[in-house]
């Protein structure tokens, strides 16, 4: 039997990190190694979490024979850690935003930070396998996409490629996310009593994920209206996307475009006529479910996409990228989950 | 002390009906009378509900000296009952959709029914007081608006009146409602386990409330894209509305338009710059909260409106209409509630 | 018209404090004055909160002519502030635990603190009006009961007074509370994702509220088994209390005991045979609802009590105490609320 | 490779049935076959459910070569179907209550029905493998335990076997269940708006699961006080169990008893000192988590148990029983799931 890959996880106490641990424990070809860059108290760990932990330093990582490190940390920690990991000859899948954008000026504008290793921005591949699979395979540094852009890009890009949209006015993306998208750090915003029985918009027209959507879709900034909203639930993103087509289209026309784009894709499911995705269908899985309605007369199209923000929107896609980097079957470790066929 | 008005309630076991009872019990000038058009079992009543009930027939209603009857019933029951109530010389506030639309063909198209008393369609006033206050005052039959159109109309109409929109593409309205909007009748759709931790779109581009929004805003059907979605919570509607202005505008320009439109309105609150409504702020109140973001460069405007679907979206607005019909202060009985200043 | 009482609120940004503001704004004889003992940022305030604020110092309080101050603060802040307020000739209703227990040794044992003004412990009255009404009327310092003891004491004391219990084994109290009982300070324990779809026991056999229950019921510590558990909801406490009677009893026997104890009490509702309280019935109200089942053969009795932890369990009961202190009708300002008849 | 067992599922649209389908689809040695005893509409099926269905009749079942049939139906359907299935030479695991009790008089008393095949009552084994494993192995008919008795029995029986309890007063079991325990049939009781933000007791001292707990623990009916309550969440049961020991005991004494009882058991986890189970830890898994607190002075012991009512409380335990019947490893198909190590 082949040796299992050793996959380090930096930031394993957050929601994405814990999901990485869960997925990797059941992975047929890899196993998780928890990396501590600060002391972690037992109360932060899930009950029964007994995976061995090692300190995050170069010699320890080399001693452990790590093949890849996942960074489920802040952007700041990732910027500092990624060069050290790469220098140790270890691949990285970065779940923070540290290497998703293309230029230092983008980081100044959208994150208000001066990027500390701009020389790696050009090298990083954007880990949305449906569009950039071959680049991911050969990258030692994969920038794992944001949760919102994963669903938005998978919906919008086929429409751009097929050149069927009225531009302007472009695309409206009304996005709703569960609370785990805000991270595990306690705040008033994520306090149960502030969230339950409530719903609110929190980032209208200026969300940090916008540049990622522009990058994957080639939309101009003026052509995208994006709003993020907070659902009173744990996990899942549903995006409702509004466009107008230049010519009148039928449902079947649109279906042909999506079916062709995602033919053979293991993690994109196009819904049949009359059915639309919901969150229940994707929770715990690596699927992006897509459905749509078409009104030929007004030329309006509404596309609805659902993902689990912690799986296809974070840890699941990260493992999908690792599978590509290490030459495993792309779906390895990702075929379980409640919502799945 | 003046005699209190006697307000009959037909359909008092549903969520809107129960909310009517709650509001009218605390009303300074009116009191509820429960009308039974079928036998109601005790298990359908809230604990402690001890208001006296009378059968729904003309002689009983006359004997009770009713001044007004609220219909919180199905469209079918309302069509049948309203003519009998009016014939007995009693005013009606109809919370069903039976008298909201203008023509028998609209009822055929949107509700699939043949209207049984079309002669009353012309007489009914549309009970959105902010726009039709004077007509409501003199109407013996008020069609209480749908919950979605209440919020949508209050957001959109000022933009139309001010003639600032790009038309086409018109208006996108992405609407989200709590489960009480689906009524109290048990169904798989409202089963707790199907709703909790879930979110789904259920009526895309073809919701029955669309014609009401077109009526109050003068939008053409092709100019409105409306989607309804189900939130895993009890009560509240939040609508996110996307438009583009013909000319570049600043936030202050838009604020001037809304502030002027709703100057002196007791139940519309325009939010200050940088803040947007949420559901917590309106639950239990008769307010419609409105806030917005403006991007002058792309000329995009996002308007966010929140109401309690059972209050401003149903029972509260119905009492507001009754107050107008009977000559009471418009806010009588409607100034309490958790979310209020 | 008589002058309205001026009621200061120290700690108005927490859940109990905000509930005090809400109740006092609608109170017929009093009005809230917000006292700032630290700078409060706008983001901590509810939208639309426009009540004037004054700094918490003696001269400012005297200048404002305060009649009473509510302390919705930590025990530590209350210990420090109460003597200063009393010295200024102003009454106090303390919602913290600072004056609920009788001795400095109790504070050492249950709270791990050295009490800083033990001379006031003897003077403070325990503000459970159903049992200590006359003492509250004449007290300048009222210790407002804990939320769990309010419901537990109202259930258990009548059984003790009637001397019908088997002792031992005494009383089991299985208590469940909504998350607002844990306060508004963010923590992992109150993070939405940790609470939703979850349920857990957090304080078994050693909760700080135990000595209050012992005080009101005269139970010996060995005679009470108390467990606190966290419900995935915003507000409400339900307690399920298990006892055995010394002699076989019928439901009617027990009902007679409770009905006599609470005859004329405005805020205790005893349920009819076959019905038990739930949280929906009390949310937003100052009621304690009590129901029970009796099995004459095994001599088991199960008593179920429900309150809103922020109203009868905190702010509502505090206003009830203020009404007694200031000579207003005991129910003033407390008769609204969703769950009420 | 060995032939996979063919496992029929009667009642696959309910929550337990759907969970059976989910588990069996990932089972290494078996596969699900959906049996229709009535026409099932597509809207009752989960999206993507594409398992082939066959009519429920003897010849079809024989044609399919079924090895076992799971009954996730009402008691009435199970009573009628089980004899036919057994006659066709096929084993049964019955998730209804039809074969859990021992006598026709018990069925009259607790379920109000006349049992239609009493001759099978003696033959059925009670499928709680931790106590009755060897009987399950050789049974062609397994009565899968109720959800509440599964957790209660696993907690209580070791205390009885060790003979450490004070009897009387016996055992108090305060049980709380998520809504899926009430089944998928819509009713007012399971309507989202009636459940969310609510909590209520629904079966006090007279729950139908009581006789099962008495059967497994040898408690006398007078020695058990059992209350069932409804949690506002999807899945999970937590039971808080109160007993007094005859002699003073330490935590370590009790731990020794449980550790010995469950040594080697794959699906019972005993918690370390200071930690108690919650629902998050067991959702989606076949575990029963058990923890406890001990107060040596009052001799009180509180035991807390958590299971997923649809897994260890229904479908998971049913598959565990099937594994025993068919000679597979007992844990086959049951080792995945979110909450698991």
Can you tell me the mean pLDDT for A223-250? Answer: 97
Please tell me if residue D132 touches chain A, with a CB cutoff of 8 Å: no
Q: What is the pLDDT of residues B238-276, one digit of tens each?
A: 999 999 999 999 999 999 999 999 999 999 999 999 999
Residue B325, pLDDT > 60, answer yes
pLDDT tens-digit map of C237-248: 999 999 999 999
Under 8 Å between Cβ of D314 and D147: yes
* Catalytic annotation present for D147: yes
D186 touches chain B (CB under 8 A): yes
Strands (DSSP E) along chain A, which ranges? 5-10, 30-36, 53-55, 68-71, 91-94, 125-126, 141-143, 171-177, 200-204, 224-230, 237-244, 268-270, 288-295, 300-307
Residue A190 C-alpha from the chain's centroid:
21
Residues in Cβ contact with B147 at an 8 Å cutoff, skipping those fewer than 6 apart: B177, B181, B209, B237, B307, B309, B313, B314
Question: Which pLDDT score is estimated for C339?
Answer: 40
* Partner-chain residue, chosen from D26, D338, D340, that has the shortest CB–CB distance to A284: D338
CB B337 within 8 A of CB B285: yes
Question: Which of C254, C277, C298, C310 best tests the D interface by mutation, with the highest count of D CBs <10 A?
Answer: C298
Q: In the prediction, which pLDDT does C67 show?
A: 96
CA–CA separation, C53 vs C60, rounded Å?
A: 11
Contacts of A50 (CB under 8 A, 6+ apart): D341
pLDDT band at D40 (very low <50, low <70, confident <90, very high): confident
pLDDT at residue D304, as a whole number:
98
Tokens encoding A167: 């531009």
The confidence score (pLDDT) of residue A161 equals: 96
Which pLDDT score, from 0 to 100, does residue D147 have? 98
CA–CA separation, B303 and B102 (whole Å): 28
Is it true that the peptide bond before A169 is cis, omega within 30 degrees of 0?
yes
Domains and CATH numbers, chain D: 5-145+312-326 (3.40.50.720), 147-309 (3.30.360.10)
**What are the tens digits of pLDDT across the range A308-331?**
999 999 999 999 999 999 999 999
Judged by CB atoms closer than 8 Å, whether chains meet at A169 and B174 is answered as: no
pLDDT number for residue C58: 78
What contacts C267, CB < 8 A, 6 or more positions away? C130, C286, C287, C288, C312, C320, C331, C334
Residue B338 has pLDDT above 60, yes or no: no
Query: Which residues of D are less than 8 Å from B232 in CB distance?
Result: 192, 196
Residues 6+ apart with CB under 8 A from A113: A75, A76, A107
Residue D58: the pLDDT is 78
User: DSSP letters along D251-288, please?
Assistant: HHHHHHHHHHHTTT-TTEEEPPTT---BSTTTTTS--E
For residue B163, give both structure tokens: 């003639």
Out of B49, B271, B284, whose CB is closest to C338? B284
- Identify which of D47, D269, D336 has the shortest CB distance to residue A281: D47
pLDDT at residue A339, rounded to an integer? 40
Per-residue pLDDT tens digits for C263-322 = 999 999 999 999 999 999 999 999 999 999 999 999 999 999 999 999 999 999 999 999
pLDDT for res C313: 98
Asked if residue A219 has pLDDT above 50, the reply is: yes
Q: In the complex, which subunits touch B with 3 or more CB pairs below 8 angstroms?
A: A, C, D
**Are the Cβ atoms of B276 and A233 closer than 8 angstroms?**
no
Task: Give CA–CA dist D133/D139, Å, rounded.
Answer: 10
Q: What is the mean pLDDT of residues B294-322?
A: 97
In sequence order, the 6+-apart residues with CB closer than 8 A to the CB of B247 are: B164, B299
Considering only CB atoms, C240 lies closest to which of D222, D227, D293, namely: D227
pLDDT of residue C52: 74
Quote the pLDDT of residue D54: 86
User: What chain C residue is nearest to B269 in terms of C-alpha separation?
Assistant: C48
Nearest-Cα residue of chain D relative to residue A336: D26
Q: Please, are residues C115 and C282 in contact by the beta-carbon 8 Å criterion? A: no
Cα Rg, chain D, nearest whole Å? 20
pLDDT of residue A340: 35
Q: Does B341 touch chain C (CB under 8 A)?
A: yes
Rounded Cα–Cα distance for residues A283 and A336 (Å): 11
**With contacts defined as CB-CB under 8 Å, which chain A residues touch C15?**
193
Does residue C1 surpass a pLDDT of 60?
Answer: no
Most confident of the ranges B42-46, C206-210, C250-254: C250-254
Mean pLDDT of B176-187: 96
Q: Which of D275, D331, D278 is nearest to D308 (CA)?
A: D278
Instruction: Look at the block and give the residue holding tokens 């409330």.
Output: B209
E strands along A220-277, which residues? 224-230, 237-244, 268-270
Task: Flag whether pLDDT at B340 surpasses 60.
Answer: no
pLDDT of A269 strictly over 80: yes
Q: Which of the residue ranges B278-287, C33-42, C112-121 would you say has the lowest mean pLDDT?
A: C33-42
User: So what's the pLDDT on residue C57?
Assistant: 85
Q: Please enumerate, as own/partner, the contacts of B218-224 that have beta carbons within 8 Å and a separation of 24 or more.
A: B218/B160, B219/B156, B219/B160, B219/B167, B219/B170, B219/B171, B220/B170, B221/A298, B222/A297, B222/A298, B222/B168, B222/B170, B223/A298, B223/B167, B223/B168, B223/B169, B223/B170, B223/B171, B224/B170, B224/B171, B224/B173
C184 touching A (Cβ < 8 Å): yes
In this prediction, what percent of chain A has a pLDDT beyond 70? 96
Instruction: Please state the φ and ψ torsions of residue D177, each to the nearest 5 degrees.
Output: -130, 145
DSSP for C209-267 reads THHHHHHHH---GGGEEEEEEE-SSSS-EEEEEEEEBSS---HHHHHHHHHHHTTT-TT
Task: State how far the alpha carbon of C1 is from the alpha carbons of C4, C8, D68, in Å.
Answer: 9, 21, 82
Q: Band of the pLDDT at C337, cuts 50, 70, 90? A: low
pLDDT band at residue B341 under the 50/70/90 scheme: very low
Neighboring chain B residues of A295 at a CB cutoff of 8 Å: 205
D197 with C172: Cβ contact below 8 A: no
Number of H helices, E strands in chain B: 10, 14
- For residue D18, what is the nearest residue in chain A, using CA coordinates? A338
**What chain B residue is nearest to C283 in terms of C-alpha separation?**
B338
Contact B196 D15 (CB under 8 A): no
pLDDT grade for C338, boundaries at 50, 70 and 90: very low
The rounded mean pLDDT for chain C is: 93
- Annotated catalytic residue: which of D92, D147, D155, D173? D147
Asked whether A19 and A311 are in contact (CB, 8 A), the reply is yes
> What pLDDT is recorded for position C341?
32
Of A198, A205, A277, the CB nearest to B293: A205
Q: Does A309 touch chain C (CB under 8 A)?
A: no
Chain A nearest C-alpha distance from C97 (Å): 22
Distance (Å, whole) CA C27 – CA C18: 14
A160 or D53, higher pLDDT: A160
Q: Is the pLDDT at B47 greater than 60, yes or no?
A: no
D107 in contact with B, Cβ within 8 Å: no
Residues in chain A within 8 Å Cβ distance of C180: 193
pLDDT class of D47 with cuts at 50, 70, 90: low
Is pLDDT above 70 for C197? yes
Comparing A38-47, A196-205, C214-223, which segment has the lowest mean pLDDT?
Answer: A38-47
pLDDT at D204 over 50: yes
Peptide linkage before B83 cis (omega within 30 of 0) = no
Number of CB atoms found within 10 A of residue C183's CB: 16
Task: Give me the total of CB pairs closer than 8 Å, taking one residue from chain B and one from chain D.
Answer: 64
Per-residue confidence band for A53, with pLDDT thresholds at 50, 70 and 90: confident
Report pLDDT for D48: 56
Question: Would an 8 Å CB–CB cutoff place D269 in contact with chain A?
Answer: yes
**Cβ-defined contact of A341 to D22 (cutoff 8 Å):** no
Token pair 């409202």: residue: B190
Residue C61: its pLDDT value, please? 82
| Site from A300, A301, A304, A307 to mutate, B interface, most B CB atoms within 10 angstroms | A300
* Chain C residues close to A187, C-beta within 8 Å: 186
Interface residue B203 vs chain A (CB under 8 A): no
Rounded distance between C-alpha atoms, residue B113 and residue B102, angstroms: 14
Q: State the average pLDDT over residues A229-237.
A: 98
**Which pLDDT score is estimated for D339?**
40
Question: pLDDT by residue (tens digit) across A77-128?
Answer: 999 999 999 999 999 999 999 999 999 999 999 999 999 999 999 999 999 9
> Does D174 sit within 8 Å of C240, measured CB to CB?
yes
Buried/exposed code over B277-301 (b: 16+ C-beta within 10 A; e: otherwise): bbbbbbbbbbbbbbbbbbbeebbbb
Q: pTM, whole model, 2 decimals?
A: 0.95
**How far, CA to CA in Å, does C268 sit from each of C310, C317, C320?**
16, 12, 13
pLDDT at D311 over 80: yes
Beta-strand ranges (E) seen in A82-180 are: 91-94, 125-126, 141-143, 171-177
């Amino acid at each position: 039997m082949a040796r299992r890959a050793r996959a380090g996880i930096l930031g394993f106490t957050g929601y994405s990190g814990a999901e990485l641990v869960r997925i990797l424990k059941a992975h047929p070809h890899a196993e998780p190694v928890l990396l501590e860059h600060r002391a972690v108290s037992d109360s932060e760990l899930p009950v029964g979490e007994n995976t061995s932990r090692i300190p995050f330093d170069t010699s320890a990582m080399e001693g452990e024979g790590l093949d890849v490190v996942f960074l489920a940390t802040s952007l700041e920690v990732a910027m500092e850690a990624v060069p050290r990991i790469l220098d140790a000859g270890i691949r990285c899948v970065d779940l923070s935003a540290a290497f998703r954008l293309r230029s230092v000026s983008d980081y100044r504008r959208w994150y208000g930070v001066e990027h500390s290793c701009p020389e790696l921005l050009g090298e990083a591949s954007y880990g949305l396998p449906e569009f950039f699979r071959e680049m991911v395979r050969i990258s030692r540094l994969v920038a794992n996409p944001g949760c919102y852009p994963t669903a938005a890009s998978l919906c919008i890009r086929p429409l751009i490629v097929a050149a069927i949209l009225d531009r302007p006015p472009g695309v409206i993306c009304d996005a709703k996310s569960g609370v785990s998208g805000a991270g595990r750090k306690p705040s008033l915003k994520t306090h149960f009593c502030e969230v339950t029985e409530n719903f609110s918009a929190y980032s209208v027209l200026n969300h940090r994920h916008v540049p990622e959507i522009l990058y994957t879709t080639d939309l101009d900034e003026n052509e995208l209206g994006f709003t993020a909203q907070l659902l009173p639930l744990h996990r899942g993103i549903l995006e409702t996307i509004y466009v107008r087509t230049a010519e009148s289209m039928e449902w079947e026309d649109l279906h042909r475009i999506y079916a062709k784009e995602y033919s053979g894709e293991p993690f994109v499911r196009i819904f049949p006529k009359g059915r639309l995705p919901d969150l229940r269908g994707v929770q715990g899985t690596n699927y992006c479910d897509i459905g749509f309605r078409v009104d030929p007369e007004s030329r309006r199209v509404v596309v609805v996409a659902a993902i689990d923000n912690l799986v296809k929107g974070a840890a699941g896609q990260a493992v999908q990228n690792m599978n590509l980097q290490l030459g495993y079957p792309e779906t390895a470790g990702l075929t379980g989950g409640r919502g799945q066929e």
